[in-house]
Amino acid sequence: MKIRILEKQDTTLGIWMPFIFGLAALLAVITLFNISLDNYIIHIITVVGIYIIAATSLNLTNGYTGLFSLGHAGFMAIGAYISVFLTYNVSLRTAYNLPLLPAILGGSDSQWPFLPSLLAGGIVAAIAALIIGFPVLKLKGHYLAVASLGFMIIVTTLAKGMKDITRGAAGIQVIPRYTSIYNVYLWAAITIFILWRLLHSAPGRAMLAIRESEISAQSQGIHLMKYKLYSFVIGAFFAGIAGGLYAHFTRSIRPYEFSFSMTFFMVIMPIIGGSRNLFGPALGASLLVIMRYILKPVEEYFGIYGLVELIYATLLVVVMMLKPEGILREKNY
């Protein structure tokens, strides 16, 4: 006998309505912002959006599947470098010592439009996750954390070392500015939507089961490696997208930006916002990014560099001790 509880989301309408309405509302709000607020605030809101994508996708592994990964900045770096490599202006390539595109990618007189480059960045990040996932995802807890951190360090040293493609530690400047508040929030909405649907599908439920107990998940016939890889690869794809958006927003990337600090920044967002809530990472990202922009001037005025991270770390330790589930409580909508 098959018992099935009908959720309201089981109808096509129930799935797409929230997305379309949400997107329309978001579009309206952003347009309103874009008209009424000054550029600096728009800038901050855009950065918030990029980190919403990064934190939400990181939470798929760290929060929902219970795989504590510290490699997210590595995937962002991959997405950033790949997309920049494809979109970089042909006429500037020789001047800035960047190689022309090989024939297979369109030949030496071509550059790619933004969307395909962004997707390529995400896909390469996802492929990297697939390759690195096999050895790394076999590990539990602490080992996984350090091995994924090692992956991030490997990626950033490669970015420093492969001078012919990445210009090494000098980084790449004058990247075309394709990122706008609109495409950032479109991607943020897509990320949250896909995560939401995923959590209500069989693979998503399998991931939640793995988080609760690997042994009991396995005994229910859940293939651990398969679903861990699913979650790792999907997370990496969106990290790659976030990296591409980041690169085409700041217009310059350097290997050391994708550092342990950045990973730490993203890791604490879901923890503070609420790692078992669909919107927890987004809340954490908004709070922490806005806090950074408020405190940066204070830091620079008094010359006390490190204040922002100090406050983040304190916040993290306090949250871990007093309210380990984060600000928003468990809810998957």
Partner 1 sequence: MIFGTSYILQQIFNGIVLGSIYALLALGMAIIYGILGLINFAHGALITLGAFCFYTIFSRLQWPFFLTLVLTIAFGGLMGYLLELIGYRKLRGSPGLSLLITSLGIYIFVENLVKLIVTPQPYAFSIPDFLNQMINYHITFRVIDLFIIFTTIFIMLIFSFFIKKNKIGIAMRGISESVETARLVGINVDQVIIWTFIVASSIAALTGFMWGSKYGQIGYDLGFMPGVIAFVAIVMGGIGSIPGSVVGGFLIGLIQTFVIGFLPPGWTIYRDAIVFTLLILVLLIKPSGVMGRKESVS
Closest alpha carbon to 76 in 141, 142, 139, 159: 159
* Residue closer to partner 1 (CB basis): 66 or 244: 66
Shortest spacing between CB 19 and partner 1, in angstroms: 32
Residue window 153-192: x/- pattern of binding to partner 1, with contact defined by CB under 8 A? xx--xx-xx-------------------------------
Residue window 226-265: x/- pattern of binding to partner 1, with contact defined by CB under 8 A? ----------------------------------xx--x-
202 binds partner 1 (CB under 8 A): no
Give Cα separations from 139 to 27, 68, 99 (angstroms): 42, 10, 38
Residue window 113-152: x/- pattern of binding to partner 1, with contact defined by CB under 8 A? -------------------x--xx-xxxxxx-xxx-xxx-
Residue 182 has a CB neighbour count (10 Å cut-off) of 15
Tokens of 300: 């620079």
* Residue closer to partner 1 (CB basis): 119 or 136: 136
**Contact between residue 195 and residue 256 where contact means Cβ atoms under 8 Å apart:** no
Q: Distance between CA atoms of 20 and 30, rounded to whole angstroms? A: 15
The residue count for the chain: 333
328 binds partner 1 (CB under 8 A): no
Shortest spacing between CB 315 and partner 1, in angstroms: 9
* Residue closer to partner 1 (CB basis): 2 or 142: 142
Residue window 37-66: x/- pattern of binding to partner 1, with contact defined by CB under 8 A? -----------------------------x
Closest alpha carbon to 195 in 54, 69, 77, 47: 54
Question: How many angstroms separate the first and last alpha carbons of the chain?
Answer: 27
* Residue closer to partner 1 (CB basis): 21 or 143: 143
Question: What letter would DSSP give residue 248?
Answer: H
* Residue closer to partner 1 (CB basis): 133 or 244: 133
* Residue closer to partner 1 (CB basis): 138 or 197: 138
**Contact between residue 198 and residue 62 where contact means Cβ atoms under 8 Å apart:** no
Shortest spacing between CB 69 and partner 1, in angstroms: 12
- Residues with Cβ within 8 Å of 153's Cβ and at least 6 positions away in sequence, in order, are 74
Three-state DSSP at 227 gives helix
- Residues with Cβ within 8 Å of 94's Cβ and at least 6 positions away in sequence, in order, are 100
321 binds partner 1 (CB under 8 A): yes
Could you list the residues that contact partner 1 (CB under 8 A)? 66, 68, 132, 135-136, 138-143, 145-147, 149-151, 153-154, 157-158, 160-161, 260-261, 264, 267-268, 271, 303-307, 309-310, 312-314, 316-317, 320-321, 324
